[in-house]
Amino acid sequence: MNILIPHRWLLEHLETDATPEEIQKYLSLSGPSIERIYQTEGDSVYDIEITTNRVDSMNVRGIARESAVILNQTKIKANLKPLNIIDKNSLQLTKELPMPKVFNNPELNKRTIFIILKNIKRAATPKWMAKRLIQTEMNVHDSAIDITNYVTHEIGHPIHAFDYDKLMNTGGEIHIVEAKKGEKFTTLDGENFATVGGEVVFKNGEGQIIDLPSIKGTANTSIDESTQNVLLLAESIKAERVRFASMTHAIRTTAAQLMEKNVDPHLAEPTLLKAIELYQDLCKAEIGSKIYDDFSAKAKSNPVKIKLKKINDYLGLEIDTQKIIKILTDLKCEVELQEQGRTTGLVVTPPTFRPDLTIPADIVEEIARIYGYHNLPSLLMDTPIPTIYPKVASFQLENKIKHFLSNIGWQEVYTYSLISEKIALESDCAINQHLKLQNPLTDDKVYLRRSLLASLEEIISNNPQQKTLSIFEIANIYLPRGDNKLPDEKLILNLVSSADYRTTRGALELLLDQFFISNYKIVDNKKTIKPFSQSAEIIVNNVTIGTIGILKSGCVGIEIPIIKLLKVAKTHPTYQPIPKTMPIIEDLTFTLSKETAVGKIITTIKNIDELITGVQLDCVYKHNHTFTIKYHNLKANLSVADIEPLRKTIVKEVEKKYGAKLVGEV
Amino acid sequence: MKTKKTKVKATRSLYDLKSAITELKQKFDAESKTDIENLQNRYLGKKGLINDLMKGLKDVPKEMRPVAGQLLNELKANLEHQLTLLGNGATEETADKIDLTIPGLKPKVGHMHPISQAMEEITHIFEKIGFTRVRYPEVDWDYYVFESLNMPPNHPARDEWETFFVDVPKHKQMGKMVLTTHTTNGQVREMERLKSKPPIRMINIGRCYRRQQDVTHTQMFHQFDGLVIDRGIHIQHLKGTLDYFAEQFYGPGTKSRIRPFHFKFTEPSFEVDFSCHICHGTGKKGRGKCKFCKSGWHEVGGAGMVHPNVLKAGGIDPDEYTGFAFGWGVERTYTLKEGLNIDDIRLIYSGDLKFLEQF
């Protein structure tokens, strides 16, 4: 959460010579990060990011406290000024008004503190206060309203101004309870809500909601133009209850964002006193009651024991014990040194506003950051390098695929793992065989995909300016495995291309060559496998390693699970002796009918004789297919006469089996 | 220059013939090519040098004669060709002159996705200092994503507002099934893989998911998460590792710095910044402010010393071992590279070729 702090407001709590730039630099290194300095209304305003565990710093006083400790370390003079507020015993009570009765549930609320202020004069917010509200991006109304926001920003505890008379008219009782489902309330800005059950609310004696505490006031008790008497109240609803109600109803007020992070209930009193002082000054308020304070759930921080050795272990160097103690006491911790020789340790009791300090590592962090991380050396580990590697790792194979395919003209893409219902329906698996998100953000990302092909086809169609486009992705698909089991995350290589089948298949064949896989077959699939309209299996050593086929869009798609490729891929070939004899290579051209499967002809020719060592389809012109045939005898050179009978057999077989016609004569 | 006609001695072997041919060629090359007619007579004439060699054929052993004859015919054809060209006033070189200013024909190539390029580079950098790359589930149990990482059940990150839940029944021990919001889910898994026995030096790179979408966030993104656990590991080692990475990934002179931050799974926790390559960490450019960075530094990600509860969840004794961890978005880390200038992270997953082709 970011907070805006004007420099001059800070100086009301901090005595220092540091420039705004110095404060920015050193706070960012050792404390909250000052992301920017704005110039607003004639002053530097710090824009500070404060982590959720440090709600104690989400106010002017907290930043002053941090600044004092941090700046002191850098030798820049800095002192936290004492908190300048009125003494609660000095309040002059004039004619007491009856107090409302509070019925607390300590399980829900840690503290309730309030006072009644009488006869307030409604006055415009004074210029000095309006300026600070503008600098910190708060709205300016009038004094009676703005004082509560102002003191929250200064001291840190949210506080609410009720219209005392409205509250008493609802029965004068405050019951701090959990709401049931369906109870209605209207916030002070006129919005209507119904509870979902479980929100902590203030109710009157008749069960009517009269406040959404720590979040926002309700219209039936909030101050308006006619308000004369105010009940100024701070309560401390448990943090998780505040977050629940605030998130459920999307009411994200500053109060809610603070209270959901465990504001120290001890801050309620100084915040209240500061507000009383301002109501007296600006609204001529009179004190209408004593301060009511029910703080039964007061808890002191637990002490944390830490050995000095632990601090050295984390920092890698020794820091002087007195320096450590100084840092911690500056941070308002109580520190007790327990000397026991080598196991000397500290007992550190953090202040109540630091509930984040609970274990030794928390104490280490405080010492280390104030000492300055930038003051620690930087070095690499001299410890042993682990050598137990995961059993299956395909990273190298994946990288080789990515490099190779991109080098031969394929574009790698990354697409979302989440798909729409429409695309899930188009896959080979029923919709209920897909894992579904319980809380998708958008309609197009609802199911975990079981195929990448649709996502890649979409990219092809989204890039119509490309004449032909070949893309690939290596990503997971997610196969459910039943109750109490995580899905099988299967890494798949997918290729989709708008080029023709031969070109695309050529890329696949080249890829297999890269992994020295030579004995593969591409075998027609008899049945249709969605989303292919026609497909064939890629078979290596009688095992199917993937599918190639035609997609609905007419593109060619290839799907290969990485694990299957990994099993057959090799990193190097088996060397074949270079033949001493020369092969004879010749072309034969056949006219084929449209239905003829060329792959089968090639198999037929190869199987005729072992001297036929290679058959390749060369060019195709209309129905004429030219095959390049390689005859090779490794033992002796073949003569033209040797191959003549083979050639005749080829022609005979191909013509007989496939109804083909040789172009030319044998 | 007048060359004295020399009688070529009779050759007896193919080897000798070959040397004689080479000698003749060199001789021809050395001639001044002014009097073409003269050359024609001296080399190709009836009593020319070629014919002299031809006469020597009969001295070559019979079985070698066809080869020898072929060699001589080639020589003759070659000289005839050259003399014809010379007669036309042209030399061989001018005939084949190539226009070197003509633009090249590039073979078509594709491109590895920028995220793949970044992941490969990141892996390489960490592997050099002994990290093992691993991969852990994207769809994982609440236990590994939150519970074992010291994140209490009421932690905001576990809200349905920030995390995607899978619509399946809850596991009794492991909790809800979620899309992991960070690669930190690999930490306790890695400790389990190594049977709770350090040393551990892991780099886990993978896909993560969060319920958010704007200029700087996509529902899916990539992270890398480093984890080092052993005896005697301290904050200086984390700083050393970060400085090493900064220098390797962003170039010489890049520095890292750590500042206080808050994460549940580390204590102390840090925000990691790398120095801006434009202003080198000064925040100033000439007399003005550096426009590329906020203040000399870029926020990149988080880091910290592994929280004792996380070590315990992985079966490692926090009194004996310490460790550090860091985790950053791959996209964010990559887009900070000098001069890259990607201003909308959603482009990375748009599949727009006009974008992808640039990498």
pLDDT tens per residue, range A538-573: 999 999 999 999 998 999 999 999 999 999 999 999
Q: Which of residues 167-186 of B touch A (CB under 8 A)?
A: 167-169, 171-172, 177, 179
Q: How confident is the model at residue B157 (pLDDT cuts 50, 70, 90)?
A: confident
Contact residues on chain B for A373, CB-CB shorter than 8 A? 235, 239, 257-260, 270
Task: For residues B60 and B162, state if they share a domain.
Answer: no
Are B220 and A381 in contact (CB < 8 Å)? no
Residues B86 and B215 in one domain: no
**Residue B84 shares a structural domain with residue B121:** no
Give how far B187 is from chain A: nearest CA, Å: 14
B163, part of any domain: yes
Residue B98 maps to a domain: no
Q: Which helix (H) or strand (E) holds A489?
A: strand A488-497
Please state the length of chain B. Answer: 359
Asked whether residue B180 falls in the same domain as residue B236, the answer is yes
Q: Which residues numbered 217-276 in B keep a CB inside 8 Å of some CB on A?
A: 219-220, 228, 230-237, 239-244, 257-262, 267-271
pLDDT tier, B192 (very low <50, low <70, confident <90, very high otherwise): very high
Q: Taking all residues of chain B, what is their mean pLDDT, rounded to a whole number?
A: 87
In this structure, what token pair is assigned to residue A572? 């190097």
Residues A576-603: tens digit of each pLDDT: 899 999 999 999 999 999 888 899 999 9
Q: How much of chain B, in percent, has pLDDT values that exceed 90?
A: 52
Q: Is B59 helix (H, G, I), strand (E, B) or coil?
A: helix
> CB distance B116–A365 less than 8 Å?
no
Task: Break chain A into its structural domains and give their ranges.
Answer: 2-80, 88-294, 304-373, 395-568, 584-662
- For an interface test with B, the pick among A56, A314, A408 (most B C-beta atoms closer than 10 Å) comes out as A314
Q: Which one of 3.40.50.620, 3.50.40.10, 3.40.50.720, 1.10.287.1080 gives the CATH number of domain A88-294?
A: 3.50.40.10
Residue B105 domain flag: no
Q: Are A484 and A426 in contact (CB under 8 A)?
A: no
In the predicted model, is pLDDT for residue B38 greater than 90? no
CA atoms within 13 A on the CB side of A375: 14
How far does B179 lie from chain A, in Å, by closest CA?
Answer: 9
**Whose structure tokens read 């495995």?**
A481
A610-619, B82-91, B222-231: range with highest mean pLDDT: B222-231
Q: In which band, very low, low, confident or very high, does the pLDDT at B94 lie, cut at 50, 70 and 90? A: low
* B296: confidence class by pLDDT, cuts 50, 70, 90: confident
Nearest CB among B120, B141, B193 relative to A486 is that of B141
Q: In the prediction, which pLDDT does B185 show? A: 96
Chain A CA closest to residue B239: A378
Give me the residue from A52, A415, A462 closest to B349, CB to CB: A415
- What is the pLDDT at residue B5? 44
Beta bridge partners of A559: A494, A547
B273 part of a folded domain: yes
CB-CB under 8 Å, A416 with B356: no
Burial of A602 (0-12, 13-18, 19+ CB in 10 A): middle
C-alpha distance from A32 to closest chain B C-alpha (Å): 7
Q: Provide, as residue numbers in chain B, all residues whose Cβ is less than 8 Å from the Cβ of A53.
A: 262
Tell whether B52 is within 8 A of chain A (Cβ): no
Q: How far is CA A230 from the centre of its chain?
A: 44
Q: Measured between alpha carbons, how far is A129 from A131 in angstroms, rounded to an integer?
A: 5
Quickly state the pLDDT bin for A75 (edges 50, 70, 90): confident
B125 plus B271 within the same structural domain: yes
Please choose, from the candidates A31, A133, A128, A43, the residue with its C-alpha nearest in 3D space to the C-alpha of residue A78: A31
The pLDDT tens digits of the residues spanning A601-632 come to: 999 999 999 999 999 998 888 889 999 999 99
Can you give B6-37 as a three-state secondary structure string?
A: CCCCCCCCHHHHHHHHHHHHHHHHHCCCCCHH
CATH code of domain A2-80? 3.30.56.10
Tokens of B293: 């960075």
Instruction: Name the residue with higher pLDDT: B141 or B343.
Output: B141
Mean pLDDT of A426-436: 90
Same fold, A2-80 and A584-662: no
> What distance in Å separates the CA atoms of residue B286 and residue A547, rounded to the nearest whole number?
60
- Minimum-distance CB partner of A413 among B139, B177, B351: B351
**Structural domain contains residue B5:** no
Class of domain A304-373: alpha beta
Q: How far is the C-alpha of B260 from the C-alpha of A167, rounded, in Å?
A: 45
Residues 6+ apart with CB under 8 A from A446: A418, A419, A420, A421, A424, A436, A437, A440
Which two three-digit tokens encode residue A498?
A: 């708008």
Residue B76: which domain range?
14-93
CB A372 within 8 A of CB A29: yes
Per-residue burial over A581-595, b = 16 or more CB atoms within 10 Å of its CB, e = otherwise: eebbeeebbbebeee
Whether the predicted pLDDT of B11 surpasses 50: no
Residues of A in contact with B352 (CB under 8 A): 462-463
Mutate to test the interface with A, among B106, B203, B236 (most CBs of A within 10 A): B236
Examine the domain organization and report whether B186 and B56 are in the same domain.
no
Collapsed DSSP state (helix, strand, coil) of residue A660:
coil
A364 and B267: CB-CB below 8 Å?
yes
- The dihedral through the CA atoms of A367, A370, A371, A373 has a sign that is positive
Average confidence (pLDDT) over A456-479: 95
Using CB atoms, pick whichever of A411, A418, A441 lies closest to residue B111: A411
- Chain A nearest-CA residue for B298: A35
pLDDT more than 70, % of chain A: 100
Mean pLDDT in residue range B147-163: 83
Instruction: Look at residue B203 and tell me whether its pLDDT is greater than 50.
Output: yes
- The pLDDT-based confidence of B344 (bands split at 50, 70, 90) is confident
- Closest CB to A406 among B111, B193, B258: B111
Please give the DSSP secondary-structure letter assigned to residue A437.
B
Taking CA atoms, what residue in B is nearest to A367? B268
Domain presence at residue B71: yes
pLDDT at B2: 43
Least confident of A278-292, A440-454, B5-19, B262-276: B5-19
Chain A interface mutation, best of B105, B106, B111, B122, highest count of A Cβ atoms under 10 Å: B111
- Residues A296-307 have pLDDT tens digits of 877 788 999 999
In angstroms, the separation between the Cα of residue A407 and the nearest Cα of chain B is: 5
pLDDT of residue A189: 92
Cα-based distances in Å from B26 to A164, B7, B18, B46: 119, 16, 13, 21
In chain B, whose CA is at the least distance from the CA of A481? B168
Task: Quick: pLDDT tens for A113-164.
Answer: 999 999 999 999 999 999 999 999 999 999 999 999 999 999 999 999 999 9
Q: Are residues B19 and B71 in the same domain?
A: yes
Q: Tell me what pLDDT residue B93 has.
A: 52
- Chain A CB contacts of B138 below 8 Å: 417, 476, 478, 489
Taking residues A326-350, report their average pLDDT.
91
Do residue B86 and residue B183 come from a single domain? no
| CATH number of B157's domain | 3.30.930.10
On the question of pLDDT at B239 being above 60, the answer is yes
**Mean pLDDT of the B195-220 span:** 93
Domain count, chain B: 2
Work out the pLDDT band at A451, boundaries 50, 70, 90. very high
Confidence of residue B9 (pLDDT cuts 50, 70, 90): very low
Could you tell me if B233 and B278 lie in one domain? Answer: yes
- Answer yes or no: is pLDDT of B160 > 90: no
CATH homologous superfamily of A584-662: Ferrodoxin-fold anticodon-binding domain (3.30.70.380)
Please indicate if any CB of chain A lies within 8 Å of the CB of B158. Answer: no
Residue B165 touches chain A, beta carbons under 8 Å: yes
B270/B310 same-domain check: yes
Q: How many angstroms away from the CA of B60 is the closest CA of chain A?
A: 27
**What is the band of B127 on the pLDDT scale with cuts at 50, 70, 90?**
very high
Which tens digit of pLDDT belongs to each residue from A362-417? 999 999 999 999 999 999 999 999 999 999 889 999 999 999 999 999 999 999 99
Q: What pLDDT sits at residue B50?
A: 84
pLDDT, mean over chain A: 94
Residue B80 inside a domain? The answer is yes
At residue A139, the pLDDT reads 94
Which of B110, B137, B268 minimises the CB distance to A412?
A: B110
How much of chain A exceeds pLDDT 90, in percent?
A: 88
Kindly list the residues from chain A whose CB atom is less than 8 angstroms away from the CB atom of residue B236.
315-317, 376-379
Residue tagged 């019979």 (tokens):
B62
Share of chain B above pLDDT 70, in %: 94
Residues of A in contact with B200 (CB under 8 A): 386
**pLDDT given for residue B6 in this prediction:** 44
CB pairs under 8 A between A and B: 244
Do B201 and B343 lie in one domain? The reply is yes
In CATH, the number for domain A395-568 is 3.30.930.10
Instruction: Based on the fold, state whether residues B118 and B207 are members of the same structural domain.
Output: yes
